[in-house]
Chain A
């Protein structure tokens, strides 16, 4: 019985990792095709929702990180050109979700925190990658955009901090909403499974 529980851990990690990979392919291509702004944030939020749902169904420590490793492994085996960036994103996001869900397990509150953290990482990784590839002038450009935004919106002089704060708040809201949705999906699925397997 104990052995079957261990196999169940790997089974859930495999299927949810594969589901995450499938969602990355379908939703990722769709969001990029319609050129939705911040599609990376939405994708990170969807990934976090999936992981929160997994943790609700299988409340085992480490399962979220394992599913992330499985999804990153799938990405590594895929014939797509750029794999390093998405792999790093998947691994870090699953690590952040694992940390957020560690103290109290999966519930709407921890789900919201997990979703927000994953979405923040999507923004941070974009900034880090752009700084690494394009160099430090990128930071100057973003500063200029923030200052221009503050001027256009007639906000008090704060070096663009208000615009940055509002942007990050929006990102957190998207991630948290998707994280809560993931927790609710997990709870509904668990109820459905109990009905099918009395």
Chain B
């Protein structure tokens, strides 16, 4: 079974179980669903979040539910809410099922094929610009990192942090503006050349 099918089956089964079964069953079922996806799909950690984060969310929501829910149980003469803690577990299992469904939807949608079909000139230009910008991200990342290290060397210390941040912001903005001018010039030249070659061919 593929990851897409497996996540669909697990997510739907979990949502149905949440609706039909009593709250005591929700956490064991959620753990079973998570384990199934973990073992059945290798890249599960990438799209469904880290296991540690789910565990944190579970502990946090159960604790909040136990504290702020209706006090229906007593441990060491302190009143706490068992139903609240169980509803915390239900919330996490529901969230896990929905995340599995949405990650399935985003992985199945043929976004690249849709963008290839777009013929509107403004939308096409936007797509071209996105591709140019995606290639510029590593350049900007390197520039940010170099500027940050240089500023740290020249103006060390925590007290100079605000000034460093200000200089980094101005430097990044200035660099982006200069880069924008050269990108605009390149686009104008390539459009001019494309126009010239079209005339020659006709």
Contact = CB atoms under 8 A, between A and B. Distances in A.
Interface in A101-158: 132-135, 137-138, 140-141, 144-145, 148
A134 B134 contact: no
A157 B102 CA distance: 41
B55 interface: no
Given A15-B176, A74-B134, A81-B103, A7 B185 contact: yes
B133 interface: yes
A169 B10 CA distance: 42
Interface residues of B, number: 56
A110 B5 CA distance: 49
Contacts, number: 163
A73 B144 CA distance: 21
Given A15-B179, A134-B94, A22 B173 contact: no
A12 to B, nearest CB: 4
B174 A11 contact: no
A135 B180 CA distance: 45
Contact of B127 (A73, A132, A186): A73
A133 B126 CA distance: 32
A12 B176 CA distance: 8
Interface of B: 46-49, 61, 64-65, 67-68, 87, 90-92, 94-95, 98-99, 102-103, 106, 111, 125-127, 129-134, 136-137, 139-141, 144-145, 166, 169-170, 172-174, 176-185, 187-188, 191
